[in-house]
Amino acid sequence: MLIYKKFIFDSAHFLPNVPEGHKCKNMHGHTYQLTVFMDGPLLPNEGWVIDYGDLKRLIKPIIDQLDHHCLNEIPGLENPTSEILAIWLWNQVKPLIPALKRVELNETASSGVIYEGE
């Protein structure tokens, strides 16, 4: 069974490696929506794959590092494209939740990235 939970956070960033004149070279912000997907068997006694409360408790400290911060100041996010941020999130979450199957990260309502640890 595949389950998911969504998290919202606001962060500022700029992209230092884009050409001069590119709008993303300037500091700006996004309201990101992160969706984490876990894959696993239905636990017969509990009737779920993972307790959503446990999931929230594990991921909250990761989100707290990002929420209302400048992403460029976080080690590993010096060039914080959505793609690099998705990989960073995967690397933070996977050791805590081995059942992690996918992260989806939207930086706007119409733009985002899906990363499956490849």
Give the active site residues: 24, 68, 107
**DSSP assigned state of 34:** E
55 burial type by CB count under 10 A (0-12 exposed, 13-18 middle, 19+ buried): buried
Query: b/e for 22-41, b at 16 or more Cβ within 10 A?
Result: eeeeeeeebebbbebbbebe
Count the Cβ atoms, other than its own, within 10 Å of residue 87: 19
Residue 38, strand partner residues: 3, 100
